[in-house]
Amino acid sequence: MLPVVSVIIPVYNRSDTIAQSMESVLAQTFKDFELIIVDDGSTDRTREIIRQVNDDRIQLISHDHNLGAASARNTGMQAAVGKYIAWLDSDDEWLPEKLKAQLDALETSAPDQKASCTFYERIERNESRIYIPQHADYKKLFLGCDQAPGSTLFFDRTLLSDIGLVDISLVRYEDWDWLLRYCSKYRLLTIEMPLARIHYSPQRSPAIVEASALTFVSKYSEELRQFGLYRSIVISRRWMEVASYYAFEHDFRKIFQYLIKALLVFPFQPLNVWAWLINNWFGKKVGSIFSKGRKRSERY
């Protein structure tokens, strides 16, 4: 008999966190699932740790070399046989009721709701807070993805023939991009309970952020024209994000380059965006505590 849910964990060099993520899946109150872990060419003990867990529901797929998070997630989804698919990042965890809550919600949802996300606990620098997603509609979602889709998204597998797989041209933003494509056709169902723990790290390669921002803007530039001035706000926010990550490295040339790009497109940046750049420069929160960032480091 086929499992009801296919859980997909892409992993690369996460020997320090993969056991914890796996345990949070195996501890679910809903038991009818398969756990597909795609090792994306790890060079540490990740695969060894996975193989030490004895559970028939676990399927390990290994890439010969590192292809990236998007490719690893796609490999897992192509192997999935469950009616529903749930994503989990290899440094995050679920609470035991997560799968049951999302399954029950989607089984009784409206026809235009084929995916759900949840509230979550965001853990950063040993501090935690409950995070309530705000940008659930298509237009607002372009400003940024606060649904943590990599670890809270749960959806009907038939969407893979409608929405498609993850875009492998995006080194980052791949889960956000998939959610944008979903929200262009359907409504997202939000479970108003914190059912995942997201371990947030603001530091990552600014070159990867830059490459992903360039691809993202190129991909959606024409589509955003339907929103008028809002298009300029969205594009400028991506350039501000790139500048903010180069602030970690105190790279004056790159910071100035993307600040100019951002301000030429749209000069009126909110205070929390400026705080984001300033806080990254100093490596800690200075003044405003409302700076935002993407979650993922180069490992996933």
Q: Are 96 and 23 contained in the same domain?
A: yes
Of the three residues 153, 180, 199, the one that is the final residue of a domain is 199
| pLDDT surpasses 90 at 124 | no
Q: Would 296 be classed as within a structural domain?
A: no
pLDDT of residue 283: 79
| pLDDT surpasses 50 at 299 | no
Q: Are 212 and 182 contained in the same domain?
A: no
pLDDT of residue 276: 86
Rounded Cα distance, 143 and 135, in Å: 8
Q: Are 46 and 20 contained in the same domain?
A: yes
Q: Are 157 and 253 contained in the same domain?
A: no
The residue segments making up the domain with residue 118 are 5-199
Report residue 292's pLDDT band, with 50, 70 and 90 as the boundaries: very low
Q: Would 230 be classed as within a structural domain?
A: yes
Name the more confident of 133 and 287.
133
Which of 13-22, 60-69, 90-99, 276-285 is least confident?
Answer: 276-285
Percent share of the chain, pLDDT over 90: 83
pLDDT of residue 203: 67
Who contacts 145 (Cβ-Cβ below 8 Å, separation ≥6)?
Answer: 135, 173, 175, 176, 179, 180, 294
Q: Would 232 be classed as within a structural domain?
A: yes
Q: Are 88 and 235 contained in the same domain?
A: no
Q: Are 224 and 179 contained in the same domain?
A: no
| pLDDT surpasses 80 at 15 | yes
Q: Are 72 and 110 contained in the same domain?
A: yes
Q: Are 171 and 258 contained in the same domain?
A: no
Rounded Cα distance, 128 and 244, in Å: 22
| pLDDT surpasses 60 at 290 | no
pLDDT of residue 126: 78
Report residue 294's pLDDT band, with 50, 70 and 90 as the boundaries: very low
CA-to-CA separations, 105 to 4, 19, 100, 109, 162, in angstroms, rounded: 14, 28, 9, 6, 21
Q: Would 218 be classed as within a structural domain?
A: yes
Q: Are 108 and 212 contained in the same domain?
A: no
Of the three residues 169, 199, 229, the one that is the final residue of a domain is 199
Q: Are 176 and 240 contained in the same domain?
A: no
Q: Are 148 and 262 contained in the same domain?
A: no
- Residue 120 contacts residue 151 (beta carbons within 8 Å): yes
The whole-angstrom distance between residue 113's C-alpha and the CA centroid of its chain comes to 20
> 206-234 pLDDT, tens per residue?
999 999 999 999 999 999 999 999 999 99
Number of independent structural domains in the chain: 2
Percent share of the chain, pLDDT over 70: 94
Report residue 202's pLDDT band, with 50, 70 and 90 as the boundaries: low
Q: Would 269 be classed as within a structural domain?
A: yes
pLDDT of residue 201: 75
| pLDDT surpasses 60 at 247 | yes
Q: Would 295 be classed as within a structural domain?
A: no
For residues 135-160, give the mean pLDDT.
Answer: 91
CA-to-CA separations, 261 to 102, 125, 216, 235, 244, in angstroms, rounded: 41, 31, 15, 9, 13
Rounded Cα distance, 144 and 137, in Å: 11
Average pLDDT, the chain: 92
Rounded Cα distance, 138 and 211, in Å: 23
For residues 137-165, give the mean pLDDT.
Answer: 93
pLDDT of residue 295: 43
> 72-89 pLDDT, tens per residue?
999 999 999 999 999 999
- The tokens 């390669």 sit on which residue? 205
Which of 46-50, 59-63, 115-119, 274-278 is least confident?
Answer: 274-278
Q: Would 51 be classed as within a structural domain?
A: yes
Of the three residues 199, 231, 266, the one that is the final residue of a domain is 199
Q: Would 300 be classed as within a structural domain?
A: no
Tokens of 288: 């405003």
Element holding 25 (H helix, E strand) = helix 18-26
CATH number at residue 161: 3.90.550.10
Q: Are 112 and 219 contained in the same domain?
A: no
| pLDDT surpasses 70 at 32 | yes
> 37-50 pLDDT, tens per residue?
999 999 999 999 99
